[in-house]
Amino acid sequence: MPTLGERIVEHLTTKGASLDDGELADALGVHRPVVAETCRQLEAQGLVVRNMAGGTRSAVAASPPVAVGTPVTPAPPPAPGSSRATFPAHARRVLSARWGTSLQRRHAVLPGGVAEAFELVSGNGRIVGDVVWLAGLGPSYEDRAAAIGQAVLIVGHVPNADRRFLVFGEDWDILTRWLARYRALLDGVELWFLAGDDLERLA
């Protein structure tokens, strides 16, 4: 027998709609507080996303894909074996599997009409994320912290996205130090750390 979480994801996927807790509770015949708690758990697992405008939740793969720009042809990679060269593709594989959608390197349009390339964008443009690689920015904390802040600022201004996030694969100490001071500035941007196939959400 399917769990309530499975029923919620199935209902959102088959109906192709975003529904708030009350609508889901009515549709599934479950008390609203139970639905709300289950949706919070599903969101933490990456199985549903919150509509930032209305506070509703919808399945990641619920909407049919729509073009948000031509996929970007990746630049020639650095020297073979470089972690920086292989990490974006690895992150795309892991997060695509985690969230049940296909994340690719695509353009998203920022306010003012500026087209920016991001490494992890869903076909419908509702999920937009990027990889942040701090190596090569100099040894100082200030330089690397500034790069984190800039990445948060840019991805945080992508309009019409339900999920905005950054993925890091190194510099754990720098990242956690930055979070200790600037977490309040994230404004809905998620930070994830990927080591091998282990994916951990930090904020």
The residue segments making up the domain with residue 160 are 83-201
Cβ atoms 77, 180 nearer than 8 A: no
Q: Is residue 177 in a domain?
A: yes
Q: Which DSSP category does 79 fall into?
A: S
Q: Is residue 66 in a domain?
A: no
Q: Is residue 54 in a domain?
A: yes
- Average pLDDT, whole number, for the chain? 77
**Token code pair at residue 46:** 């990456």
| Burial of residue 190 (number of CB atoms within 10 Å: 0-12, 13-18, 19+) | middle
Which regions of the chain does DSSP assign to beta strands (E)? Answer: 48-50, 57-59, 104-110, 114-121, 127-132, 163-168, 190-195, 198-201
- Confidence band for 18, pLDDT divided at 50, 70 and 90: low
- Confidence band for 22, pLDDT divided at 50, 70 and 90: confident
Q: How many CB atoms lie within 10 A of CB 98?
A: 16
The confidence score (pLDDT) of residue 11 equals 80
Q: What's the number of domains the chain is made of? A: 2
The confidence score (pLDDT) of residue 57 equals 55
Same structural domain for residues 43 and 91? Answer: no
Cβ atoms 25, 59 nearer than 8 A: no
Give the SS3 label for residue 155: helix
Per-residue pLDDT of 46-56, as tens digits, reads 677 755 433 45
Same structural domain for residues 108 and 48? Answer: no
pLDDT at 164 over 90: yes
Cβ atoms 191, 203 nearer than 8 A: yes
